[in-house]
Structure 1
Amino acid sequence: MEIDIALAARPSYIALGHVFPTQTKQMPSAPQGLEQLARHIERLGDYPTVAIGGISLERASPVLETGVGSIAVVSAITRAEDWREATAQLLAIAGAGDE
């Protein structure tokens, strides 16, 4: 399993994805979805994690509800009508500044 290979390398974090279909690049595999993401998060425990792939403004909350440490977005900002507003909304959803 790819996670075992990643853990053996002792990275500072593990990126998990692609969660949803993405328009950023061609992917050779099917999206893993929220259920698989949640299983990975449960297995990894407190290990730092980042979810990536097809995460839109509307999908950000459900992704974060899996317990993932953070999210990476591209199109949610670059394809937004107002990238500043999209960024502000994503930061609010992620609870940035709540600490």
Structure 2
Amino acid sequence: MSEKNQTNNNSVISLTLGILSLFIPFIGFILGIIGIVFSNKAVKEINTTNENGRGLATAGLICSIIGIILQVLAILGYVAFFSMTVVNNNG
């Protein structure tokens, strides 16, 4: 019965990485990918060990995906801005 009360560590790591991926520029892309990996690992472990933390793993997955999308948009924004700056300065 005590094992049911235990929270899966990978789900906590997944949520932490997912939240960090939202706020840390450029590195957040890598953190988001790692967060997705930990989330999938946590769900598999929760299914076999019956631990708590499925909600944390799901939240970590969602935050990681949103973090990756935001990072990609930010990178595209930087590229577009600096490419327009170079074009405007040369032309």
For normalisation by structure 1, the TM-score amounts to 0.27
Select the structure that is richer in helix.
2
For normalisation by structure 2, the TM-score amounts to 0.28
Larger gyration radius, structure 1 or structure 2: 2
Select the structure that is richer in strand.
1
Higher relative contact order (CA 8 A, sep 6+): 2
